[in-house]
Amino acid sequence: MSGRCCGKYSTVSKIFELLKANKLAPLKSLSQNFLIDNNILDKIISSADISKSDLVIEIGPGLGALTERLAAKAGKVVAIEIDNKLAALLSAQYPDPGKVEILHADVLKTDFEKIIRSNAKKSVTKIKIAANLPYSLTTPILVKILALRGSLDSAVIMVQREFAKRMTAAPGSRDCSSLSVLVQFSAKAEITAVVSENSFYPKPNVKSALVRLAMLTTPPVNVFDENLFFAVVRAAFNQRRKMVKNTLVHGLEMEKTAVDSALLKAGVSGTRRGETLSMPEFALLSNAFFNVREVEKITQK
C-alpha cells in the first residue's frame, strides 16, 4: 500500500488496485464496505480531534484507508482486524508495532482494557476509538465501547443512520429507545456527518452517519445499581404503547404491588408511557426498585 492519498479518485483507485492485486473481494459476511470518500475519511479524523498524545484503537481497519490517516496524526494506532488476508496486508504495510500495531483478532473477543494497559506511558494522555464499524456487529461493539467509560476519552464511529438517530435521540422523542438511554448514560452523543451510500465500496443498502461519543467521567444521574437501572429502562421501552406500570410488571416479572410502590416512591405516574420518562426519572425509579423487597429477584435475572 502506498502512502498516497489525495483526491477522491486516488482513494477509489487505491481500493480497487489493492483488491485486484491481492485477489480479494469484499466479504459481505464481515460487513466489508470500504470507505472511498476522502471527505468522509477526513471528517472522521477531524471529529476524532487526534493528536500525538493519543492512543487510537481502530476497529476493522480493512484496507487501511482510515488507518493511514490515523497513523499520520496519532501517537500510536492499534487496529483490530478479523480478516486473515487484510490483517496480513496491513501487518506488512506497518512493520513497526510501536507506531501502528495490527491485531489479527475478533473485536468482540478483544480485551480493550488490556490494550490500554499495555500502551500506558507518560506520552499517552487520551485513549480514543475511531471506526467504520462492521454494521452487523454495531450493538455488541457499542456495548463494549460504553463499558470503557472510565478509560476512554471519545469514540467516533460510522453506523447505520437509523441507529445513529436512536443513539442521539432526546428523551420523549420519536426515535428515543432503551439504546438512547444506555448511550447517553455513558456519553454525550452527536451526529457529526450524514453519509451517503456512495461513500463506500461496495455500496451498503442502508444510509450511514458518523457519531461522536464524548465519554462522561461520571454518569449524568446517580443510580444505586447500573444493571438494575438498565433492566428498568429496557422493561419500560419493551412495549411502547402500554402504560409503564404494565410494562414494568411484565418486563421485570414483578408483583404489581411492588411496581406500584416503586412508581409512587419515584413520583412517576404509572399511566405514563415508558418512552416519555426522562433519564432522572429512570434513575429515581430504579433506585426506588432497589429499595423494595423484590430487588434480589431482579438482579439475579
Of the two residues 69 and 234, which places its CB atom closer to ligand SAM in the complex?
A: 69
Minimum CB separation of residue 172 from ligand SAM in Å reads: 33
Minimum CB separation of residue 116 from ligand SAM in Å reads: 17
Q: Which of 32, 178, 180, 184 binds ligand SAM (CB under 6 A)?
A: 32
Of the two residues 139 and 173, which places its CB atom closer to ligand SAM in the complex?
A: 139
Query: Which amino acid makes up residue 162?
Result: E
**Could you tell me whether strands 54-59 and 76-81 are parallel, antiparallel, or unpaired per DSSP bridges?**
parallel
Backbone angles phi, psi at 277, to 5 degrees: -75, 140
Residue 289 CB: number of other CB atoms within 10 A?
Answer: 29
User: Which listed range, 4-12, 25-33, 115-123, 227-235, lies at the site for ligand SAM (CB under 6 A)?
Assistant: 25-33
Of the two residues 213 and 236, which places its CB atom closer to ligand SAM in the complex?
A: 213
Minimum CB separation of residue 37 from ligand SAM in Å reads: 10
What number of chain residues touch ligand SAM (CB under 6 A)? 23
| Residue located via cell numbers 513497526 | 96
Build a one-symbol-per-residue string for 118-137: x at contacts with ligand SAM by CB under 6 A, - elsewhere: --------------x-x--x
- The reply to whether 251 sits near ligand SAM by the rule CB under 6 A is no
Build a one-symbol-per-residue string for 46-75: x at contacts with ligand SAM by CB under 6 A, - elsewhere: --------------xxxx-xx---------
Residue 205 CB: number of other CB atoms within 10 A?
Answer: 7
- The reply to whether 83 sits near ligand SAM by the rule CB under 6 A is yes
For residues 226-235, b (16+ Cβ closer than 10 Å) or e, as one string? eebbbbbbbb
**Of 43, 112, 48, nearest to 74 (Cα)?**
48
Of the two residues 199 and 286, which places its CB atom closer to ligand SAM in the complex?
A: 199
Q: What is the dihedral of CA 202, 135, 211, 99, to 10 degrees?
A: -80
- The reply to whether 216 sits near ligand SAM by the rule CB under 6 A is no
Minimum CB separation of residue 154 from ligand SAM in Å reads: 18
Of the two residues 200 and 289, which places its CB atom closer to ligand SAM in the complex?
A: 200
For residues 176-192, b (16+ Cβ closer than 10 Å) or e, as one string? bbbbbbbbbbbbebebe
**Could you tell me whether strands 208-215 and 187-195 are parallel, antiparallel, or unpaired per DSSP bridges?**
antiparallel
| Residue located via cell numbers 480485551 | 111
Name the residues that contact ligand SAM, by CB under 6 A. Answer: 30-35, 60-63, 65-66, 80-83, 86, 106-108, 132, 134, 137
